[in-house]
Amino acid sequence: MTSPSSQAMTLSHPSSGRHFYLAVDRLQFKMRTLLELLGVVSDRHGPVPIAICVSSRDELDAVCAAVANLPFVSLSPLYSDQDEAERASVLEKSRPEAIQRNQIEDTSIDESPKPESVVLKQNITVVTDACLPSAAMGEAPLMSRVLINYELPTKKEAYLRHVSACLATDGIMINMVVGGEVALLKSLEETNGFVIAEMPIHVNKLFLTLEICFASNTVSSCGLN
């Protein structure tokens, strides 16, 4: 069985997952865009495990308050003053759901209809930079299929820490950027040695991008020309 620390080392490799950025014109549109993105994933792909990384407790509270209003979401926050038992419960809840989802997608070819009485919700974990799962503490990574950086990490180390702590090896990283942050994104590309492709805001193209990415294990096939 692979240890949490070895899993983290594997996931921290720059080739893990597919990397995109979603540009927002103005800061006030950022939260609305996040909610629309979550709706797109839910409508097209069902209960895909998602992690949202934020830099501060204030941002975590704001994101949780907005996301909690979505009817298709099961929300789990990770924050600094959380007691150990609650933190362990959140991590335990998040990781098995991610693994189960990966196993279903790996073994199932045809989508079978679900009974109307069964409501499957998105498992979304919102976490601050300071509270990411830690291999040093014996915590396994979240293994989410979609990782959203609500705030763009400014340093290579922070970016890779998000990847290693939260993202499955075949997952999708979506960086939300506003205005001048695109320049910072390009700097991260150069230091990390991989391409962060633009993800279009247009809903139909988002559908296409996500479908291609979930269906494929290659980075190049996810690009949009």
- Evaluate whether residue 221 is within a structural domain: no
Over residues 42-53, the pLDDT tens digits come to 877 777 889 999
84 has a pLDDT exceeding 90: no
Give me the CATH number covering residue 193: 3.40.50.300
Kindly report the pTM of this predicted structure. Answer: 0.75
Residue 76 scores a pLDDT above 80: yes
Task: Assess if residue 41 is contained within a domain.
Answer: yes
Domain that holds residue 9: 4-106+118-215
Instruction: Take residue 192 and report the two structure tokens written for it.
Output: 């990390």
Residue 221 has pLDDT above 90, yes or no: no
Residue-wise pLDDT tens digits, 96-138: 554 464 445 544 544 555 444 445 778 899 999 989 988 888 8
Pairing of strands 18-24, 144-149: unpaired
Say how many domains are in the chain: 1
| Per-residue exposure over 17-53, b if at least 16 CB sit within 10 Å of its own CB, e if not | bbbbbbbbeeeeebbebbbebbebbbeebbbbbbbbb
* In a domain? residue 159: yes
Residue 91 in domain: yes
pLDDT of 147 reads 92
Is residue 112 one of the residues assigned to a domain?
Answer: no
